[in-house]
Copies of this chain bind each other. A is one copy, B any other.
Amino acid sequence: MSGPASSPAPVGVGLVGLGTIGTGVVKLMQRNFDVMRERLGFPLRMVRVADLDTTRDRGVDLSGIRFDADAAGLVDDPAVDIVVELIGGYDAARRFIHRAIESGKHVVTANKALLALHGKEIFDAAARKGVDVAFEASVGGGIPILRVLREGLAANRILSLHGIINGTTNYILTEMEQSGAAFETVLKRAQDLGYAEVDPTFDVDGIDAAHKLTLLASMAFGAELSFKEVPTEGIRGITPLEFESAAEFGYRIKLLGIAKASPEADGVERIEARVHPTMIPSESLLAKVDGAMNAIAVHGDAVGPTLFYGAGAGEMPTASAVVADLMEIAREIRRGRAGRVAPLSYLPESLRPRPVVPLGEIEARCYLRFTALDRPGVLARITGVLGDHGIGIESVIQKGRGRAGESVPVVMLTDVAREEAVRRSLALIDALPELTAPTCLVRIEEEL
């Protein structure tokens, strides 16, 4: 449809790693070849694929594509203009990306783990060689959130960002809420359905979300940030009682990645950056994001509140993001350019270390679930300790009565309190003889 006259040479893509997403990329580039060409004006073609497993049938047509296990050969192949790295993990991926950059190839990757740890080294190498490294697929799956931060909201000072950025945990929390089942039961079911990995640590302990938040916070605030600095807490401690209580208080529970600009302390610009289960108002848009879907709420000083929603994972949604990056880079190749926009939105020389506010300094309303023997005076002792630390209590719910020697849950909502005061109180409270299990703390975010 792009006119019979010209038939410009294609831009060539090489793919390292033919797993689920890689297979989606091959499929999508074939299926939408025409419509992509009508937008680009030239063809974008997969010319070579490398994977250690060259025999498994992925249900994708590889005819016309050179397919072998030679990833290094792919990177060096002059027919390959852009290298897509989809093997994941650290060492091999890092090696191939650097090899591609050193050969003057542009790189597209979905590897948030690698970028959250070694992003600076990779972006610096790319800048030196004048090639692009694009990574839209690494955060929020098919949601073009990185483009939004880098270009769509580029005129804004970002004030805050709240993201449901891990589909597995959002699926588990949604299922727990709907079924009333315990975490372990729902995790097992999610594993059986393929929604959770056999080793679910990266997802359920919040590590994957912290990787993604590291990239988002870096871009939002121009921060030199390593994921190791991001306080991270997963969802293993959430029980069915938390959902029941949250509903009574008008909240839902989501694992959020949160980043905020913090008021200057002693002339130093700090940021909040943290991942933890969070109670958010049921009526907020973010609270309506269920199942494996993702959404990122971004508040800019000019634009005000915004929200970007879509599938956070999966073969075709993630391929959608990878191929969008390929199209953007291919355009630049045809124009003989690179480096149009800084990978982390701020120019490398404008990125600066932004200390992360320690969790102890966070001020928030808190949900507390105590597990205590049902004895006279327990509630008074608990509230006494909280009061001694200046923590006001907004509501208390005791869930049923325990028989002699049995524990009952006592649920409280606090006023806005400083986390270190809450933690000091909990250390004292949990040491009381009536307390039979560690207290569960869930932070509340209201401004959504």
With contacts A155-B28, A337-B337 taken as known, whether A39 is within 8 angstroms of B347 at the C-beta atoms is: yes
Residues of chain B within 8 A of A346, CB atoms compared = 38-39
* Contact (Cβ within 8 A) A350 B36: no
CB distance from A32 to the nearest CB of B (A): 6
Residues of chain B within 8 A of A352, CB atoms compared = 1
With contacts A1-B350, A157-B35, A316-B303 taken as known, whether A151 is within 8 angstroms of B144 at the C-beta atoms is: yes
Chain B residue with minimal CB distance to A295? B307
With contacts A151-B144, A319-B155, A347-B38 taken as known, whether A305 is within 8 angstroms of B310 at the C-beta atoms is: yes
Q: Which 10 A-B pairs have the closest CB atoms?
A: A144-B152, A155-B323, A142-B303, A38-B350, A306-B310, A302-B320, A303-B320, A307-B309, A302-B316, A304-B311
* Contact (Cβ within 8 A) A142 B309: no
Q: How many copies does the complex hold?
A: 2
Question: Cα distance A144–B156 when bound, in Å?
Answer: 12
* Contact (Cβ within 8 A) B303 A306: no
Q: Knowing that A2-B350, A38-B350, A288-B288 are A-B contacts, what are 9 other residue pairs whose CB atoms are under 8 Å apart, sorted by A's residue number?
A: A32-B301, A147-B151, A148-B152, A152-B324, A155-B319, A306-B308, A306-B309, A307-B307, A331-B340
Residues of A within 8 A of B (CB): 1-3, 24, 28-29, 31-32, 35-36, 38-41, 136, 142-144, 147-148, 151-157, 222, 283, 285, 288-289, 295, 300-311, 314, 316-317, 319-321, 323-324, 326-328, 331, 335, 337, 340-342, 345-347, 349-350, 352
CB distance from A250 to the nearest CB of B (A): 15
Q: Which of B157, B295, B314 contacts A32 (CB 8 A)?
A: B157
Chain B residue with minimal CB distance to A3? B349
* Contact (Cβ within 8 A) B324 A142: no
